[in-house]
Structure 1
């Protein structure tokens, strides 16, 4: 147990002795984790929106310009006759413009003439079965006076495509930055081993096991990964909250999942990923030295 403590202590010391390379490794790994986490969280938010759209049985039916509200009442009655329609709620152009004013502020609408409201009257239609969505929309569009129907499926499909694109980009970022991280960390460990080559040579000469020689370097790599994970969680939290606030202040209708809801998975994945990359970089770097005898390590 005392020997294990000594090896861990040596690994911690290596991080400080080679602090320039350690800082470089940490910076690269933090960039990798933050970029990957950002892409993943964006994908999660888009997927959540897609699910909400998919579970929403509502669609909006717009009435042609020039039809009075009395005409709209008859159009609503025709929509209600469709078998898959559960309910029909009238949504006047006056209600629509009022909602826009409440959301975006009166200043943007101060010059708009209330009598020249450009928005159409509409109905909020709730369907019983979304599997019959296309069929129901086709029947609604046949009704005289119906201008258009908001196609939420197209919206959901576009969001899904965005989600897939983000996933592909995230995978590409992960592959490239993991390779870079492994290279930087491997060089850090290699520099450490070179500076301690006499010590390694002596240990190998007196019969030290590969595990004994390897342990400090593995601890060094894993510690670099752990430090990177801790910094990355904080950086990602600040970035995520900052972007969320931008969407709130600009009134963009995109509800982000609270970061506290994903904090534990983010911390767990960052710690595992950071320590794995650090471990792998160290493991790959020291393999060559473990195959050598004491004199070979020194080049004699």
Structure 2
């Protein structure tokens, strides 16, 4: 095969691998972002722990300390009777104290649940446990909202994972086929090297090194494209991807490991396949 054709094959392989890695990195980013969004949504689920009117300041503080140390609480805040009245007036525009002569609202502690506990199965025993506390009148929350949120997030997660699995399989097939085609074009050279006594690894090593280099170059290009996409999403669309360096590092790690493993293993397997073939079989490979 002439040098220009080899060059064209390398460029085609590099571009193909780059495109696959870019798509893989993009969907990995979306999967990680969806996980963070679902966690934030779950931690916005609140429960209002309504307190007895006779509760003392010391009892309130002890209960707040209890919640702050609980695994199922991400954050909590105390809402006094006066605070509750002000919030009621701001929200509804009316003051019940003017026609009742007293403040009918109770003090409460607003709890934001930790994401791993914001599910229907986890909330029920938590509510029962809190309502058993003597100074607590009741716990107000929205089980229907929690149930719908939990179900929707579960469905979206399954869909994202399914798409990722399908994309990974497509990536494996495409990259393996592209690399195999490159090795196939030099199958007679492989046979010639076998005839002159080259060991199997001595024959396979150049293909592995060459395709690892292609994988590395493709990774760099794919990461540059992903970085440009993240920059655009961050500045034009308002998605704060660049504000999460851990997410970017995770995506980069997935792309690098996937690229180097797949290109190296595919090249090794393809070369090994042709090393074992007899000369006559090479014409029908």
TM-score over 0.5 (shorter chain): yes
How far apart, CA to CA, are the structure 2 residues paired with 1:186 and 1:80? 68
How much does 1:32 deviate? Answer: 1.9
How far apart, CA to CA, are the structure 2 residues paired with 1:245 and 1:96? 38
Q: CA contact under 8 A between 1:36 and 1:174: conserved in structure 2?
A: yes
Partner in structure 1 of residue 205 of structure 2: 215
Q: CA contact under 8 A between 2:241 and 2:247: conserved in structure 1?
A: no
How much does 1:35 deviate? Answer: 0.6
1:33 equivalenced with 2:25 (yes/no): yes
How far apart, CA to CA, are the structure 2 residues paired with 1:276 and 1:40? 22
Map Cα deviations across residues 130-188 of structure 1 (whole Å, 9 max, x no partner). 97542434779995xx8x723599749945972x5455334423332222222222222
How far apart, CA to CA, are the structure 1 residues paired with 2:147 and 2:245? 26
How far apart, CA to CA, are the structure 2 residues paired with 1:176 and 1:209? 37
Q: CA contact under 8 A between 1:28 and 1:181: conserved in structure 2?
A: yes
Partner in structure 1 of residue 167 of structure 2: 177
Decide whether aligned partners of structure 1 residues 178 and 217 sit closer, same or farther in structure 2, where only a CA change above 3 A counts.
farther
User: TM-score, with normalisation over the residues of structure 2?
Assistant: 0.61
1:149 equivalenced with 2:140 (yes/no): yes
**Secondary structure, counterpart of 1:18 in structure 2:** helix
Map Cα deviations across residues 226-275 of structure 1 (whole Å, 9 max, x no partner). 334334444445555666668969xxxxx989322334333333211221
Give matches, 1:139-288, under 5 Å. Answer: 143=137, 149-150=140-141, 155=146, 158=149, 162=153, 164-237=154-227, 239=229, 258-288=243-273
Q: For the aligned residues, what is the CA RMSD?
A: 5.0
**Secondary structure, counterpart of 2:79 in structure 1:** strand
**Secondary structure, counterpart of 1:292 in structure 2:** coil
Q: CA contact under 8 A between 2:187 and 2:274: conserved in structure 1?
A: no
1:92 equivalenced with 2:84 (yes/no): yes
Unaligned 5+ residue runs, structure 1?
1-9, 63-71, 99-111, 250-254
How far apart, CA to CA, are the structure 2 residues paired with 1:201 and 1:82? 82
- Which structure has more relative contact order (CA 8 Å, sep 6+)? It is 1
How far apart, CA to CA, are the structure 2 residues paired with 1:183 and 1:132? 48
Give matches, 1:66-145, under 5 Å. Answer: 75=53, 77=55, 85-86=63-64, 88-90=78-80, 91-92=83-84, 94-95=86-87, 114=93, 123-125=107-109, 133-137=127-131, 143=137
How much does 1:84 deviate? Answer: 7.8
Q: How many residues align?
A: 249
Q: CA contact under 8 A between 1:190 and 1:285: conserved in structure 2?
A: yes
User: TM-score, with normalisation over the residues of structure 1?
Assistant: 0.59
Q: CA contact under 8 A between 2:191 and 2:275: conserved in structure 1?
A: no
Decide whether aligned partners of structure 1 residues 206 and 248 sit closer, same or farther in structure 2, where only a CA change above 3 A counts.
closer
Decide whether aligned partners of structure 1 residues 79 and 29 sit closer, same or farther in structure 2, where only a CA change above 3 A counts.
same
Moved more, 208-217 or 233-242: 233-242
Map Cα deviations across residues 84-140 of structure 1 (whole Å, 9 max, x no partner). 844842233644786xxxxxxxxxxxxx995599xx96744168xx97542434779
